[in-house]
Structure 1
Amino acid sequence: MSNRTAYFYDPDVGNFHYGAGHPMKPHRLSLTHSLVLHYGLYKKMQVFKPYKASQHDMCRFHSEDYIDFLQKVSPNNMQGFTKSLNTFNVGDDCPVFPGLFEFCSRYTGASLQGATQLNHKICDIAINWAGGLHHAKKFEASGFCYVNDIVISILELLKYHPRVLYIDIDIHHGDGVQEAFYLTDRVMTVSFHKYGNYFFPGTGMTTSKYCCYRQLFQPVIKQVVDFYQPTCIVLQCGADSLGCDRLGCFNLSIRGHGECVEFVKSFRIPLLVLGGGGYTVRNVQAFCTFTRCFKYFEYFAPDFTLHPDVSTRIENQNSRQVYRDRTIRQIRSTVFENLKMLNHAPSVQIHDVPSDILSYERTDEGDPDERGSEDNYSRPEAANEFYDGDHDNDKESDVEI
């Protein structure tokens, strides 16, 4: 497997705003993309302007009433939706803001296209940092999340893959995804998160209070992969598990977070990588490398380093070697015993496969305006997308897959 990487980025997705004082800031996506550009990382990937998900796409998981509400509600008319606001849990944590449905359409479409490309073996790794909104439920918004792009993407992957493994390293439990697939053995969810002390969402109980992340993550994931034998992996990389996060309370370093991604990548199984939480802007960006030519240099003040010192933010509660090691062994033992009670590498009966949401077949040469709209999303962006300055009006690529 050659690790061909597809990177999905919508230049408008970072322009949406949850409202003054809200910790969720889509602008972080623009900052992250700037790092990708200035370090030339885009040269090692195929970069795509993603598909925009339709109401029909979202209703593959969510209820029609809920998605219809998201499409209709706006800050100007929300007074007429008082009952629906309560029913669908839209308000304080999940506010109504200008372009709400458009925002959901853009981040969901990118994840869905990533899943489709993995299905067609166009890439080995698909990345959508705008996705990973794991709290959204079938009938309601939750935890800053409105449409669960992860569930919708996994449903697409299940058309071709008998077993999908979902791994979540956000500090919050991936409750929306777990709930969606609770009754099927074709999806296994593994979430590493904080539990207890009324920490949101209050689900995902574990037997441990403290643990050393790496010593737990690698053996558990290896055992899960060996036992479950997934044919595709979805990895949610919420950056709120990093030290110094505005809402999180873990001390995971950027390097440690990256090692989790690298370890999952090492299995060489088709991989969909998504974003998630992350409420300190420079932490979200810091998966990439920092240089002084970076457009958003001021966000790294005052020390201007990529790897901030997290040791002084939160007391290290793993310092007692004996207690820590005993706790980690207990967790590993519990996980391994639980795996023995599950069906090993469950199979799938023969069934009809629904048609793909996107087409990747090459169309005839001719006027691009006469091609189907889906084909507009099946070609990578042109190289002249990637520079800091005024953009040419004529920037579409003629290159097709």
Structure 2
Amino acid sequence: MTAEHTPEVVLGVGGGIAAYKVCELLRRLTESGHRVRVVPTADALRFVGEPTWAALSGQPVAAGVWDSVHEVPHVRIGQHADLVFVAPATADLLARAAHGLADDLLTNTLLTARCPVVFAPAMHTEMWEHPATRANVATLRSRGAIVLEPASGRLTGADTGKGRLPDPAELFAAARRVLARGGLHADLAGRRVVVSAGGTREALDPVRFLGNRSSGLQGYALAATAVARGARVTLVSANVALPAPAGADVRPVTSALELREAVLGAAAEADAVVMAAAVADFRPDTVAAGKIKKTGAGPAPITLVENPDILAEISGKRARPGQIVAGFAAETDNVLENGRDKLRRKGCDLLVVNQVGDGRAFGTADNQAVVLGADGSATEIPYGPKEGLADRVWDLVAERLGAGAGAAGTDR
């Protein structure tokens, strides 16, 4: 896309109760300068009417293949789009898309689109977990479509579980990330990746802990950009106060031992693992049962024991042949020297080395780094947004995976 080009988005709306949330997504897209054509299914119009979509988009609403036939909408709409974003993508709509049906305007549009296609599923947990739905999702992902993981939470009625449509703000962020790639191929489609983020906390007593300054921003940027490139993302999140990236399967943890268990479990099926979390090297030998009180005699010594070296463990015990492992090294001095030493000791494929302290890296929106490779390479990433650094890291991971080869078409 050129600088003058107004991005054209087709917003497909499926027939689910979550359609009302898509009104907010539409508002965010139009207010940020995107030209949006809403293509609802007939059932979607039972939840939100045509006048609402037309008023919010400022465009006529295409609802059927017989509307404005002289413009051949079932072909033209998909051909002219920069992005097709479907939300909510119901179980029925995913099934029809996976099987190439063309029984309404939206499914016709999906067949003619040559731009990135994103599905944001929303349905009850049992429907999402049904083998038929899982097979349909795998088929769509194998063709390069981006199928986001649904969120967990309150569903229709009193039910709760996985299947909730992610928040509109996060859907909007996902759409913008895909558009920012300018139509590039989803080079991580069919891949499973694990990302760790945040900083672990090691309990001293029920109130206090040993921790660090990590905000989780870099790890969340890695998860979000991987989703935009088509990956199925497991995000192991340690003590992070950030909204969950749309499409990522977030698994919250607290301590280093909990993070180790979660990462090792998820890594068993992963093509790549990126350890961006700041993991405590040590933990207290014992945890007080009650709050430690002042006694006037001074504080009692705290005995520390080493935590497991998770990065070295994953690197030494590759769960799958060809698995790529990347780590992060936060250094305050002798940055490259310490980074090269850590790369050798850990045995990972890539190590992202950055300098921290004095307002750098932790808690900031920007970052810079040098990515050291086990093959002797060194890639400098200049100062800029953390999402830019994340994309460059995934470039290097994708190169080593042989992007698109082998795993595409699987949903293990």
TM-score exceeds 0.5: no
Q: Provide the TM-score with structure 1 as the length reference.
A: 0.29
- As a proportion of its length, which structure holds more strand? 2
Give the TM-score taking structure 2 as reference length.
0.28
Larger relative contact order, structure 1 or 2 (CA cutoff 8 Å, min sep 6): 1
